[in-house]
Structure 1
């Protein structure tokens, strides 16, 4: 399609993948990132399904820190084990960013490191972007009719254009020395609805260390709750990190048009995150590919996102129910994991959950009843909230 240089804000996983695909197809691409390089990104342990291999060659190019053979799910004193037919992979985010940046540059994309976006406006029907180069101390201005926002859950692009931002939740994660008795290839999760509507997790990234974390309701109470959980569990904490994760909403538009100027949202800026697990690596890369196709072909971004949206919508429906689960509901959930359900969870990665959503309910109809009861509970609470 006829266009000037595509400008991408944010050298995130999704931003770099989009840049690579556009440049490989012959488009002129510039990426602007406020960090001075991937090594400046905060360390973060990622657990990804085998679906990542669709986008990234794991092993020699992107080091795998550990492999995961299954999940232990705990509620109070109850516990169930979910094996995996294909192992999950544990990565360090900075390793993935470094590889994606190298691939984007080899494809011909220009990456400007250490450049902070100051403002985005509209001028003569195009986006006018003003940056500050931290290395040279100079201002940079760019004009473009195609802008990709890949600058995270709290997007500067969206704020500058006065667009509605994403709802987010805080996550806290600590690197710990692992205790004896924990399998280095099994992830542990704890559901505790009185403390978090999501769960606590322990992801082993080596024989000796693990990432322990949870999704908080709010930052202040979250820090207290996390400190309490770490103290109760007896881990030796090496470091703690915090971040905000966007919440996917089915009706949030990942595309904006301002006259002839077009804005595409990818990754966390688009909310392409599975709200069941708050994982967004594979889904973010899939959304980046959809954006690249829409830009290159001149097609509808919404249409290109259709398969990804089906996947994210399935997770969203499950999250609506789980947000209202009690401890008793979680115990009943574990009892519902019969051999047919476990076989589906074992054989199909979480990033393809939509393909087995209805099969799972048919394999165990009690799951549908459990979810419907939670959704009815949520519906009854709506009048109370609106009257406050």
Structure 2
């Protein structure tokens, strides 16, 4: 039986049209974009086209605001370390801004980096809590902002629950205090309409393998006028903000994926949301003691995180895999852990449900037949696990 892949927040399949666009970059257009000859010029043109395609998808004002990176983690790192480095003046003197504000449900790429900055540099990090739907505490956020805030980093959409954060409002509040605003938009780009130029966002991270491009390529949007200290020192690539010979095949693939997302977003979103809703309706009709985590009124269309009482999510994932269905027990970066994720803990999910959280993340390739099969298999697996838990001989 054909496998069902519902773990698209971990990674997506490379779209055939994206693969078609990138393949010539391995042989036909193989030059170094920095070279002065025609081989280099062809590669440089391909990179420029991709830069424009990324710009168009996220609604940036200028193509030179796009910096290509190796992925979301590097983009987050460059945004945070680069912004903090830019607050240092001559001789290492600071502007007096040495505090960072994040949410309690940020991706580990942000949370672990900020924890390291606290230990190694004494940076004060304010971690803002969320409510039971994963929505940020707006009062606590406002209270954390001050003239000492250098940077705010709040994700656009949560990778585990799909909950969307009000980044435009949060950015405006940060700007009122003179702070820079960064958003990890890895799970939002290609899934939500964008317009960074008018949302007062200074820095935005995205990753290719979340929207149909291969792993190993991403981008950081840097609004014109924002100073950013380079973290990779060497050549003058990416306007001196990220040294190193460009990954031309990956960059071209990212551009193609962004162009495809821009074209398909209006039609993909309602169809995928309907499939997600059908999955939830079907599961809840057959499984008692199950609930959606996150904000059902404000989430990305492709994601549902469901907590099943009295089962272990790792067992659910394993048994579904045996039936050819791929899902996740929360964030891919926490795979293998038997403890509830930091997102689940931050939301205050009851212990009865906290260990049984399963994330289903759909794509434009997901079909109604796959959803129907998933409902059947999940229902059987949950019933079997609960029966085993009640049977002392099991």
TM-score range, shorter chain: under 0.3
**Greater RCO (CA < 8 Å, at least 6 residues apart):** 2
Structure with more helix by fraction: 2
Please give the TM-score of this superposition, normalised by the length of structure 2: 0.26
